[in-house]
Amino acid sequence: EAEVAQSPRYKITEKSQAVAFWCDPISGHATLYWYRQILGQGPELLVQFQDESVVDDSQLPKDRFSAERLKGVDSTLKIQPAELGDSAMYLCASSQGQFNSPLHFGNGTRLTVT
Amino acid sequence: DAKTTQPPSMDCAEGRAANLPCNHSTISGNEYVYWYRQIHSQGPQYIIHGLKNNETNEMASLIITEDRKSSTLILPHATLRDTAVYYCIVRVANGQNFVFGPGTRLSVLP
C-alpha cells in the first residue's frame, strides 16, 4: 500500500535555529496537509494545499513558519527561528481531494527544541 | 473545534469486541463520520467512514444511529495491537479539514 513519506523522523535543534521538514504524498494525491500534534492532544491543522496552492493557512504562525509545495507534489515546512514551544510531532497527510476521500498520514517528524 | 464527543479512555479484554462510542449531536446532513486511530509514535491511521448506512471493512464496523447523532466503532476481536487512541471526526465531503479532538485511549488487556 502506498504511503506518505516524511523526513527526518526525528529532529533536535536549538532555539533560534532554522529547521525544515519534508513530505512526499501518495502519488496522485492533489491535497496535502501539514498538522502539528502536541503530546497528549489531537493533531491540529497548520496548512492545506490543493496542488501547489494554499487553501487554508489560517492556523499557521506566519511570523516563523512557512510552507511550500512548488510543483504540486512534495512539500516542505520550515520554522525559523525555532522556539521551545514548537516541540511537537509534525504530521503530513494527503488525500485524493475528491468527494469524501479520507486523509492518509505519514509517521511524522518528532521535533525537540532545546 | 471538534464536533464530536468521545470518552477519554476505555479498556477491553483481548479477544472481545471493542465498542467505541462517539456523539455528534450537531452533525449536518452532508457530513460524514470518519474514524482514525493512532498508535504511539505513529501517524493517524484511517479506519473507516460513513454517511448514514452502517459500514464494514477488514478492520472494523461502523454503526451510525438512525438520527445520525451518534455512532459506534466496533473492533470485533480486539488484539493487543489495537491499543491506540481512536479519533471520531465529522466532516463535510470536499469540505474543511479534519478537526481532531482528544479521542479515546483504548487499552486492550491480556
CA atoms within 13 A on the CB side of B27: 29
Which tens digit of pLDDT belongs to each residue from B34-54? 999 999 889 999 999 999 989
Reading the block at residue B54, the C-alpha cell is: 452502517
The closest of B19, A68, B15, B92 to B7, measured between CA atoms, is: B19
pLDDT one digit per residue (tens) for chain A, 114 residues: 669 999 999 999 999 999 999 999 999 999 999 999 999 899 999 999 999 999 999 999 999 999 999 888 999 999 999 999 999 999 999 998 776 788 999 999 999 999
Mean pLDDT by 10 residues, chain B (110 residues): 88 97 91 93 94 94 96 97 96 73 95
| Cβ-contact A57, A47 below 8 angstroms | yes
Measured CA to CA in angstroms, residue B104 lies from A26, B7, B57 at distances of 28, 6, 21
pLDDT at position A93 is: 95
Measured CA to CA in angstroms, residue B31 lies from A102, B35, B46, B50, B95 at distances of 13, 13, 17, 9, 9
d(CA A62, CA A111): 18
Radius of gyration of chain A (CA): 13
Report the DSSP beta bridge partners of residue A44.
Answer: A36
Contacts of residue B49 in chain A, CB cutoff 8 Å?
100, 102
The closest of B39, A60, B109 to B47, measured between CA atoms, is: B39
| Cβ-contact A34, A92 below 8 angstroms | yes
DSSP-derived 3-state class of residue A55: strand
DSSP-assigned letter for residue B5: B
| Cβ-contact A46, B91 below 8 angstroms | no
pLDDT at position B30 is: 84
Number of inter-chain CB pairs under 8 A, A vs B: 51
**Mutation test of the interface with chain B: which of A29, A37, A90, A103, choosing the one with the most B Cβ atoms within 10 A?**
A103
**Mutation test of the interface with chain A: which of B98, B100, B104, choosing the one with the most A Cβ atoms within 10 A?**
B98
pLDDT at position A100 is: 78
**Chain length of chain B:** 110
